[in-house]
């Protein structure tokens, strides 16, 4: 009886391991992708951007409310073009003053969250000088900040002013992107702005779950990440060739910043909440 039970358990374990190896093997084959697909997607990305660009510039120059909704529309169209299937879990806070804080895997996160939230991204100042992406960031009203400690007070004041204007802001508090297998410690200084304005803070977890319908295992999550010293152009070209990505975006329970005695406790709470979503 015991031998039979052990045999069944061994067979079950081998079956599960076999399925996992099959999924990982199929994922590895997807890495090569279809190169013509990258070219088509880049062409369509450029075409859509060129068509929408004049409307956004006009909205910015006249301060029309459309300057907020046009980027959302652009991001939504881009998700369709580059094959991002987004599954939203939870509700987006409807409060006027909200600081959204999320983990960060790659440049795709911008399009993902931008298609869901009518808000402004907070990015490091270096992004402003990137070719193409820097320009697009500027016309979508991205707030650029310096990451050195000497400018910390000015950056907090800048973010506080935007929250006081009832702007919805999107922040990646890790300060960099990761491989998607863990959430890096959150940098706390900018959380001060949320506390000073008693704003709502909503943690968000981004998970890349499937590639072309194939579940992505823990070891394969790094396929989607752009981190470390990776070169942007070859990484982007390869990602655009892979097919359809399924991304789960979890909107955790919103919290009021004044529930915490200081910014560090607020940052730690948000980091742990986001990490649980992985």
Residue 81: is its pLDDT beyond 60?
Answer: yes
pLDDT score of 13: 46
pLDDT score of 5: 37
- pTM assigned to the model: 0.84
In angstroms, the CA 8 to CA 49 distance is 57
Residue 15: is its pLDDT beyond 60?
Answer: no
Question: Which H or E run contains 214?
Answer: strand 214-215
Report in angstroms the alpha-carbon separations of 212 from 19, 101, 208, 241. Answer: 16, 28, 12, 11
pLDDT score of 76: 97
Report in angstroms the alpha-carbon separations of 199 from 166, 170, 220, 240, 257. Answer: 9, 13, 37, 37, 6
Residue 24: is its pLDDT beyond 70?
Answer: no
DSSP 8-class letter at 97: S
pLDDT tens-digit map of 244-256? 999 999 999 999 9
**Six-digit token pair at 262?**
């200081």
Longest Cα–Cα distance in the chain: 80
| 3-class state of residue 172 by DSSP | coil
In angstroms, the CA 228 to CA 240 distance is 20
Residue 181: is its pLDDT beyond 60?
Answer: yes
H runs (alpha helix) in the chain: 2-30, 35-62, 66-82, 108-114, 133-139, 152-164, 191-196, 232-239, 263-276
In angstroms, the CA 170 to CA 152 distance is 18
pLDDT score of 235: 81
Mean pLDDT for 42-70 is: 93
pLDDT score of 220: 63
**Six-digit token pair at 214?**
């194939």
230 alpha carbon, distance to own chain's centre? 18
Considering the chain, what percentage of its residues have pLDDT values greater than 70?
A: 86
Instruction: Please state, rounded to an integer, the average pLDDT across all residues of the chain.
Output: 85
Would you place residue 55 in the very low, low, confident or very high pLDDT band (cuts 50, 70, 90)? very high
pLDDT tens-digit map of 103-117? 999 889 999 999 999
In angstroms, the CA 162 to CA 226 distance is 29
Residue 277: is its pLDDT beyond 70?
Answer: yes
In angstroms, the CA 278 to CA 271 distance is 11
Considering the chain, what percentage of its residues have pLDDT values greater than 90?
A: 60
């Amino acid at each position: 009886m015991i031998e039979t039970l052990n045999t069944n358990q061994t067979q079950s374990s081998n079956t599960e391991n076999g399925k996992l190896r099959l999924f990982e093997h199929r994922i590895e084959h997807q890495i090569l992708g279809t190169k013509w697909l990258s070219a088509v997607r880049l062409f369509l990305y450029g075409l859509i951007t060129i068509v929408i660009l004049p409307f956004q510039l006009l909205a910015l120059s006249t301060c029309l409310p459309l300057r907020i909704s046009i980027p959302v529309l652009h991001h939504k169209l881009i998700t369709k073009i580059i094959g991002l299937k987004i599954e939203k879990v939870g509700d987006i806070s409807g409060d006027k003053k909200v600081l959204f804080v999320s983990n960060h895997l790659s440049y795709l996160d911008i399009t993902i969250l931008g298609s869901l939230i009518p808000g402004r991204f907070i990015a490091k100042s270096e992004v402003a000088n990137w070719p193409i992406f820097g320009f697009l960031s500027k016309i979508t009203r991205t707030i650029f900040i310096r990451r050195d400690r000497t400018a910390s007070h000015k950056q907090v004041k800048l973010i506080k002013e935007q929250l006081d204007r009832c702007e919805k802001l999107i922040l990646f508090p890790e300060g960099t992107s990761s491989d998607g297998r863990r959430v890096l410690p959150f940098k706390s200084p900018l959380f001060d702005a949320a506390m000073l304005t008693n704003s709502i803070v909503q943690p968000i977890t981004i998970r890349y779950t499937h590639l072309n319908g194939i579940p992505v295992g823990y070891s394969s999550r790094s396929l989607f990440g752009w981190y470390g010293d990776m070169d942007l152009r070859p990484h982007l070209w390869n990602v655009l060739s892979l097919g359809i990505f399924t991304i789960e975006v979890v909107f955790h329970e919103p919290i009021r910043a004044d529930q915490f005695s200081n910014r560090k406790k607020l940052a730690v709470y948000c980091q742990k909440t986001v990490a649980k979503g992985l």
